Structure 1
Amino acid sequence: MHQAWNRYAFIRFVLFMALGIVTGTFLPDIYEFIFFLFSVISVLYLTAQFFRGYQFPAFQSISFAVLAFLICFSFGYLNAYWQSEKHDQTHLLHANVGEIEAFEAILVNAGKNTEKTHGFKVEVQRVLINEKWQNYSGNAMIYFQKDSLSKRLEYGNQLLIKSSLNELAPPKNPLEFNYKRFLGFDQIYHQQYVRSGKWRKLAESKGGFIMASSIKTGQYLEAIMNEHIKDERSLAIAKALTLGIKDELDNELRSAYASAGAMHVLAVSGLHVGIIFLIISTILSRWRNHKKGRVFFAIINISVLWAYAFITGLSPSVQRAAMMFSFIILAQAMRRRTNIYNTLAASAFVLLSINPFLLFSVGFQLSYLAVLGIVFFQPKLYGLLQFKFTFLDKIWAITCVSIAAQLATAPLGLLYFHQFPTYFFLSNLVVIPAAFVILNSSLILLISSFWEWAAEWIGYLIDHFIQVINFLVFSLDYLPNSTIDGVFINTLESWLIYLAVFFVALFIAEKKLNYFKLTVLSLFLMSISICWRQYQNFQEKQLIVYDTGQHHALAIRNGFSQYLQVEEGLAQDKNKLRFHVYPSQLEAGIADFHPDRFEPKNQQELFKDFKGLKFSVWNNKRIIHLHKEIDEDLIFEHPLEVDLIIISNNALRKPSKLHDYFNAQKIVLDASNSYYNIQNFKAKFEEENLDYYIVPEKGAFEWKL
């Protein structure tokens, strides 16, 4: 095993480098120590190289290994620290963004259209504070109100924007998607909505020439597809699969492909670059193994892969896949005595050296795990069955690829998306060959667009072929139990599953029983973690007032049962329910709640309605929920003693009236109240030194008993 492990040197380098990146991202305060450590071990390593081979070879071997791993760790840490722009004292995070009156910025991506806005990533160059320009800089997301002028904005435009900036807010509900951290890994920490007339174009073509050319080329090719593919969904699929443009995929289409386990087809990445690689390799197969043709084969193949990356807008996912395949092609061309795992690790090492924050990208993680799974498990699965007929053999080969990829990516899918597609092996039998056909035919359409008659027919065939594929995917979605959803595992449990998969791989490779025992141990520890978490959920008694924007949502839990009060408008908005409420429901193990199947009338009623008041006694705590104005004829001799009052929908407009009815230990105002009403109550509460909580300011209110 030791000799075998020595063949995978780059894997160890990447592992230590990744550990350094994680440490550098979340523990930046030890920068000086790590810099000192890096300097010392670099000198020691060079000194050890000078005296190499004199005495104690075993000790030297261990010393070189330890020093090399420490260098990789330190390099990963320092690279993450140096490339994190927020450590620069002139970054926007060190400015008072609330005082910004205006700022100059350059649009640095192609933009994304929504129903009401044009969204761009911008690079802020300087800001105007107190009528003085200051050199604060950084990236931000700017959403321009849709109009005839904002429609013409494009990559490289330099703008003067009369607006302040808002720092991205952390999640406001338990386990809600952390959009702030997600954009932070892309060096974006601010955002702003800009109304019409609040910006002016200063200059054009301020961006990089290569990126500008890539975007222009992509837009030109997009216009060709718009002209020749008529059906909206077929066009959306073709553009997503060929050019990486996913803005036009509707939620129903995304959901159907995700449930069928075929969402990877709609994101241009390793599969699509692999298809291009397969096409070119087939065309140039006679040169591949020829002594003088290997270099020619490598140059043409790599050139075509990066040309495809160019027309797809040089998106990070395509660049990642192109880099991965480029390393594989180069290794084959040079006939180096290496292996695919080292080659993949080398490509990851280069990518993480360029951008260390790719490590936190879900796409990066899934891409490398899928490839590793396919490389290791697919040949072993494929060898289990033999078929005489070529057609059956191809079906079995694709099925093995699907199973291998799922083995490697399923734990991550459960961690991030909480679902598992049960018919993935059937959907991939359809979508992988379909992706090959659509990608090839779309490229032929783009190439032959100058010949109008041919382009019309090719577009017609692509259109109807995709409609058939969509019908098959939607049919799989309608099958019973097509998706196992509502699965919750935490990060520790996902790591334990991956440990089990790793030990299974070692057991298959080494045929040693100890690895099987370690597999069982990993799964046993995962089971203990799940059981302990569920036991804690069973013991929990909690009240949550969610922050959902304009609607109120209230949950009262007792173990695995709960009362959930959701306003009608929110109940109809499944996306908001899924984003704000569903994550905490999953963690708590609430089995009877799902956003797509939620009906307010079917929920257990815990409050009694009395003349506009909703009143409940729960765990000896008296709770009042004011969700509409109190009846005028309601009179108490003395203010009612209550433990908690929740005010929603501006049900109480005068703070003074609160004392006419209640004497409350705690007062909560949720996000369904108006800003004016909240500020009015807040001033009164502070004046009287009352215990209060403002949900839209602090996030969800959690009350544990």
Structure 2
Amino acid sequence: MSRYSWAVLLIAYVTGLITTGLPYSGWVWTGVIALSSLVLGLVMPYRWRPGPKRHIWWLAGVVGILAIAHFQLRQPQPSQWDMSRWVNQTPDSVTVAGQILERPRQNRQGRIRFPLQVERLNQNNTVSGKLYVTVPLLHGTGLVPGQTVTLTGRLYEPQPAQTPGSFDFKQYLARQGIFAGLSGRLAAEPEPAQQRFGSVRQRIVRSLVRGLGSPNGFLVSSMVLGRRAVDLPSDVQQQFTQAGLAHTLAASGFHVSLLVGTVIMLVKPLPPRAKLWVGLVTLAVYLSLTGFHASVVRAALMGVAGLVALVVRRGVRPMGLLLVTATGLLLINPLWIWDVGFQLSFMATAGLVVTVPWLQAQLQAAAPWLPAAIATPFLIPIAVLAWTLPITLSHFHVMPLYGITVNAGTSPLVMVVTLGGMLSAAIAAIIPPLGAWVAQFLSLPVQLLRDTVAWSNMLPGAQWHGGEISLWQLVWIYGGIALLLYVKRLRSGFRWGVVLSLGLVLLGPYYYSQWTKVQITVLAAPDYPVVVIQDRGKTGLIGLGDRATYDYQLQPFLAQAGVNRFRAVVELARDPMAVREAFRDRYPVRKIWQFVPPPAEAGQKVQLLSDQQEFQIGSTVVRRIAQNPPLLEVQLPEQTWLIAPEPLVAVPQLERQPDVIVARDRPLIASALAQSKSAIAITVKAVKEGLADPNDPVEHYAIETDGTVWWTPERGIQTGREVRESVLD
């Protein structure tokens, strides 16, 4: 078969896998693929003479259909004896024994988490499967992979995403074959275990911390070994993520691409075979240091493909080799098609093997006096980020506006710290004191890198929430990039037209959504509602929630909704001061209202919201209608909402009957419902089982069970649970 035929078959397999993440069932896409292959087989042999024959197009349809079946067959499913079967059948406290599968790590709550291969539940030996375990810090310190532990605690079922755009914990664990969690503690002293490479990595981390101190030593360790091997302080990790440098802290495709590109640049005078061997040895050392995790192995294999494409140019087509490598990996595990690490590894390597040579040629033509050794370190992050930013925006809805500039500016520092850290790590693995001494020479570049990151995060609009990016936008963006790179005879005007279309495809849907959206969204802090009001480009917020609500619900929702600034915010007494400060530092706010007189040092932006005082968010009017407890009336052209952000005992006589009432729980809004028989109730807490009245005429939504609740003029009330169930159907 010709290379065109192979390319069509490989693309058909990948396309079949991509359809598994699209709306509608697999049967619908099976029919679409079959019909498409039939039509292409009849048409393309006449339209594309050098291309594949008719039977290849029909065979491609079969390959696409088999890809869908392969994906479905490889979906993890709990077995008959999986731990998830016992979640609702066991008492509050159980005893579990099993083996730790990965290095325990610290979560944001200060607890230690790790996956456990279960061997025994209480006295039952006929159990199987894995558990996601969290234990207190003191209980988890010193635990290593391969160790057998006995734990006691509470089994629970992981929860799906409660808010649009937030992290889907249940799906994340299910992809790893984990369908239940255990929150507990050690029940007995764990058995000792041989650590093998884990002890070497711990020795390296201790040596780097000894030489550079904390947190710089942990930062360099993360840049060399990846985040899986190091518990990097969350504040440092968050700073690098906000600046668009999160890839420098993980063993990712970007990291491998940067390493391969730098090594090839340094050994440029050597013959091709020597370059290939140097690159392969470098990747092997890197793998042994970071550990053979799936994400690292994927990135390394992509790096090998990129290395061969860069070194052995004669007779090798870079994108063809990359396509073969990616398809081979997806044959091993088709579920990786929706793994963000796999996607970023593929795109980063594509940027390295396709865009860097193109940028070098353009720069050589424009500035022939500039040495390639100086230019290449700046071109690598530009090329790689151009390919990875659309994927990043699609998954996380956040784009660092200065990301490319910061990456290009810090590229020399990143390379010095990474390569210097790898040298120190290699020495520390053999002679720890010497490795610590060598690491001291990295003190200045590490501190300069941290200062640059902190400075970039202080710039106005450092992070931009881009909202949802659909699949058709991604296809258009990457198709446009490929068109600019591969079609060399494009006229100048047409080339600028492609660039303009890319900008319109990326920004057009975002601004259209912002200028037309009218929506009220109710999120849930532990004891009170958090309400987001969107009215044609103007946004308001009532309440911020506690730290967990702010980090895991509010911020992901604002990113997914594309909210970057606020017209007005009502801060509640129960909003923690740390959350208020974090919110004010992150988002521009025109006016902040409070129910109590603010201190004098708060400034003119923070004001008291007095009784019967009102403010506007677009065409929506928000008015305080009661003094104690404070009540807010939200008046839209279509509806009137009554919001009780504080504990409510009784509702005063209302001038207007509310259509929707929002409060903590149902008993607290009984008097309001008595004044509006047709009102819809939205509460944080659900009515306890057995207390609900089946004949109750009131339409009631509880965030505790229904997830986030939102209202739009077109569709009325919707809930997170309804959307999840419609997707499953």
> Is residue 78–residue 177 contact of structure 2 (8 Å, CA) maintained in 1?
no
Report the Cα offset of residue 241 of structure 1.
Answer: 0.9
| Pick aligned residue for 1:113 from 81, 85, 106 | 106
| Pick aligned residue for 2:559 from 578, 583, 592 | 583
Alpha-carbon deviations, 1:27-68, whole Å to 9, x = none? Answer: 997589979x99xx9xxxxxxxxxxxxxxxx89952442254
- The equivalent residue for 2:390 is 411
> Is residue 504–residue 516 contact of structure 1 (8 Å, CA) maintained in 2?
no
Greater relative CO (CA pairs within 8 A, separation 6+): 1
Alpha-carbon deviations, 1:410-447, whole Å to 9, x = none? Answer: 32233334444444454334432223322332233234
Q: Distance between the aligned counterparts of 2:481 and 2:263, measured in 1?
A: 34
Report the Cα offset of residue 495 of structure 1.
Answer: 3.0
> Counterpart of 1:165 in 2: which secondary structure?
strand
| Pick aligned residue for 1:553 from 530, 554, 562 | 530
| Pick aligned residue for 2:60 from 51, 56, 69 | 69
Question: Compared with structure 1, are the counterparts of its residues 591 and 384 closer, same or farther at alpha carbon in structure 2 (3 Å cutoff)?
Answer: farther
Provide the aligned length of Structure 1 versus Structure 2. Answer: 650
> Counterpart of 1:186 in 2: which secondary structure?
coil
Report the Cα offset of residue 401 of structure 1.
Answer: 2.8
Q: Which amino acid aligns with 2:146?
A: G
Q: Distance between the aligned counterparts of 1:60 and 1:279, measured in 2?
A: 37
- The equivalent residue for 2:205 is 222
User: Which stretch shifts more, 238-247 or 622-631?
Assistant: 622-631
* Residues 1:213 and 2:196 are matched in the alignment: yes
> Counterpart of 1:364 in 2: which secondary structure?
helix
Alpha-carbon deviations, 1:159-200, whole Å to 9, x = none? Answer: 444455333222212333333333333333333322x35x45
Q: Which amino acid aligns with 1:561?
A: K
- The equivalent residue for 1:609 is 626
- The equivalent residue for 2:454 is 474
Q: Distance between the aligned counterparts of 1:670 and 1:408, measured in 2?
A: 42
User: Which stretch shifts more, 107-116 or 655-664?
Assistant: 655-664
- 1:159-558 alignment runs, 5 A limit: 159-163=149-153, 165-194=155-184, 196-197=185-186, 199-200=187-188, 213-230=196-213, 232-245=214-227, 248-274=231-257, 277=260, 288-289=271-272, 294=273, 301-328=279-306, 337-386=315-364, 387=367, 393-449=372-428, 454-481=434-461, 483=462, 485-491=464-470, 492-508=472-488, 529-530=509-510, 533-534=513-514, 536-537=516-517, 540=518, 542-558=519-535
Report the Cα offset of residue 266 of structure 1.
Answer: 2.0
> Counterpart of 1:435 in 2: which secondary structure?
helix
Alpha-carbon deviations, 1:421-477, whole Å to 9, x = none? Answer: 444454334432223322332233234446677445323222333112222333333
Alpha-carbon deviations, 1:547-573, whole Å to 9, x = none? Answer: 233443123443333442105x54898
User: Which stretch shifts more, 681-690 or 400-409?
Assistant: 681-690
Q: Distance between the aligned counterparts of 1:462 and 1:345, measured in 2?
A: 38
Q: Distance between the aligned counterparts of 1:484 and 1:452, measured in 2?
A: 40
Q: Which amino acid aligns with 2:106?
A: N
Alpha-carbon deviations, 1:177-230, whole Å to 9, x = none? Answer: 333333333333333322x35x4578665xxx9xx6333332232222233221
Q: Which amino acid aligns with 1:158?
A: T
- The equivalent residue for 2:660 is 644
> Counterpart of 2:57 in 1: which secondary structure?
helix
- 1:653-672 alignment runs, 5 A limit: 663=677, 665-670=679-684
Q: Which amino acid aligns with 1:626?
A: A
> Counterpart of 1:413 in 2: which secondary structure?
helix
Alpha-carbon deviations, 1:613-660, whole Å to 9, x = none? Answer: 51526246454333445578x876x99954333223x7x867877777
Query: Structure 1, unaligned stretches of length 5 or more?
Result: 42-57, 672-677
> Is residue 540–residue 568 contact of structure 2 (8 Å, CA) maintained in 1?
no
> Is residue 111–residue 137 contact of structure 2 (8 Å, CA) maintained in 1?
yes
Report the Cα offset of residue 346 of structure 1.
Answer: 1.8
- The equivalent residue for 2:46 is none
Q: Which amino acid aligns with 1:445?
A: S
TM-score by length of structure 1 reads: 0.77
Question: Compared with structure 1, are the counterparts of its residues 613 and 550 closer, same or farther at alpha carbon in structure 2 (3 Å cutoff)?
Answer: closer
> Is residue 373–residue 407 contact of structure 1 (8 Å, CA) maintained in 2?
yes
- The equivalent residue for 1:141 is 132
Report the Cα offset of residue 285 of structure 1.
Answer: 7.2
Q: Distance between the aligned counterparts of 1:20 and 1:203, measured in 2?
A: 46
Report the Cα offset of residue 687 of structure 1.
Answer: 6.9
Question: Compared with structure 1, are the counterparts of its residues 74 and 300 closer, same or farther at alpha carbon in structure 2 (3 Å cutoff)?
Answer: farther
Q: Which amino acid aligns with 1:81?
A: Q
Report the Cα offset of residue 312 of structure 1.
Answer: 0.7
Q: Distance between the aligned counterparts of 2:103 and 2:510, measured in 1?
A: 44
Question: Compared with structure 1, are the counterparts of its residues 168 and 644 closer, same or farther at alpha carbon in structure 2 (3 Å cutoff)?
Answer: same
Report the Cα offset of residue 90 of structure 1.
Answer: 5.2
Question: Compared with structure 1, are the counterparts of its residues 335 and 574 closer, same or farther at alpha carbon in structure 2 (3 Å cutoff)?
Answer: closer
> Is residue 170–residue 179 contact of structure 2 (8 Å, CA) maintained in 1?
yes
- The equivalent residue for 1:47 is none
Q: Which amino acid aligns with 1:174?
A: P
Q: Distance between the aligned counterparts of 1:546 and 1:21, measured in 2?
A: 34
> Counterpart of 2:446 in 1: which secondary structure?
helix
> Is residue 273–residue 322 contact of structure 1 (8 Å, CA) maintained in 2?
yes
Q: Which amino acid aligns with 1:669?
A: T
Alpha-carbon deviations, 1:582-638, whole Å to 9, x = none? Answer: 235427997878772357426854332244251526246454333445578x876x9
Q: Which amino acid aligns with 2:172?
A: F
- The equivalent residue for 2:712 is 704
Question: Compared with structure 1, are the counterparts of its residues 71 and 468 closer, same or farther at alpha carbon in structure 2 (3 Å cutoff)?
Answer: same
Q: Which amino acid aligns with 1:366?
A: L
- 1:2-13 alignment runs, 5 A limit: 7=3, 11-13=7-9
Percentage identity across aligned positions?
Answer: 16
Q: CA RMSD in A?
A: 4.5
Q: Which amino acid aligns with 1:236?
A: F
Report the Cα offset of residue 120 of structure 1.
Answer: 0.5
Question: Compared with structure 1, are the counterparts of its residues 566 and 343 closer, same or farther at alpha carbon in structure 2 (3 Å cutoff)?
Answer: same
TM-score by length of structure 2 reads: 0.75
> Counterpart of 2:662 in 1: which secondary structure?
strand
Report the Cα offset of residue 239 of structure 1.
Answer: 0.7
Q: Distance between the aligned counterparts of 2:252 and 2:561, measured in 1?
A: 33
- The equivalent residue for 2:41 is none
Question: Compared with structure 1, are the counterparts of its residues 624 and 399 closer, same or farther at alpha carbon in structure 2 (3 Å cutoff)?
Answer: same
> Counterpart of 1:444 in 2: which secondary structure?
helix
Please identify which structure carries the higher helix content.
Answer: 1
User: Which stretch shifts more, 683-692 or 374-383?
Assistant: 683-692
Q: Distance between the aligned counterparts of 2:28 and 2:638, measured in 1?
A: 54
Report the Cα offset of residue 133 of structure 1.
Answer: 5.5
Q: Which amino acid aligns with 1:141?
A: Y
| Pick aligned residue for 1:19 from 8, 15, 18 | 15
> Is residue 117–residue 131 contact of structure 2 (8 Å, CA) maintained in 1?
yes
Q: Distance between the aligned counterparts of 1:621 and 1:331, measured in 2?
A: 61
